[in-house]
Amino acid sequence: QVQLVESGGGSVQAGGSLRLSCATFGYSYSDYIIGWFRQAPGKEREGVLGIDSYGRTLYADFVKGRFTISQDNAKNILYLQMSSLKPEDSAMYYCARDPVRRYGSSVLNPSSYRYWGRGTQVTVSS
């Protein structure tokens, strides 16, 4: 059974930084796409950034230059480094994986993913 577990969320002041982690268990597929998403109350889930099957990182316009993604393949952990945080970045953040090969901006579409974590809350105060 595939499990994704996010951690690292919390409260931070505007301009601050956080690093989110996503640990993966039981994922035996050789191919995958991975992504980070977020959902604020009353809003739809939106893609933050993702890595497609070419290994390219795709970014939502609202995070370019502020958020980066990295992986520790040995530990099967995905990271989201967030800096210059803004109050509008406040949301529940989710990581996701899927074994189907996809390319380009489709990795920012929640419907491209089968496996999801339960999320970690990020709150940015002004």
Higher pLDDT, 74 or 7: 7
- pLDDT value at position 66? 96
Summarised one tens digit per residue, pLDDT across range 26-85 is 988 877 899 999 999 999 999 999 999 999 999 999 997 899 999 888 888 999 999 999
User: What pLDDT band is residue 93 in, cutting at 50, 70 and 90?
Assistant: very high
- pLDDT value at position 60? 96
Q: Is 35 exposed, middle or buried (0-12, 13-18, 19+ CB in 10 A)?
A: buried
Q: Is the model's pLDDT at 6 over the cut of 90?
A: yes
Q: Is the model's pLDDT at 112 over the cut of 90?
A: yes
Q: Which two tokens stand for residue 45?
A: 């889930």
- pLDDT value at position 30? 78
User: What pLDDT band is residue 114 in, cutting at 50, 70 and 90?
Assistant: very high
- pLDDT value at position 54? 93
- Spatial separation of the C-alpha atoms in residues 91 and 82, rounded to whole Å: 13
Pick from 80, 84, 29: nearest CA to 59 = 80
Contact between residue 21 and residue 6 where contact means Cβ atoms under 8 Å apart = yes
Residues 6+ apart with CB under 8 A from 83: 16, 17, 66, 67
- Spatial separation of the C-alpha atoms in residues 50 and 35, rounded to whole Å: 4
- pLDDT value at position 75? 81
β-sheet bridge partners, residue 51: 34, 57
How many other CB atoms sit within 10 Å of the CB of residue 97?
20
Q: Is the model's pLDDT at 89 over the cut of 90?
A: yes
Q: Which two tokens stand for residue 33?
A: 């796409």
Rg of the chain over CA atoms, in angstroms? 14
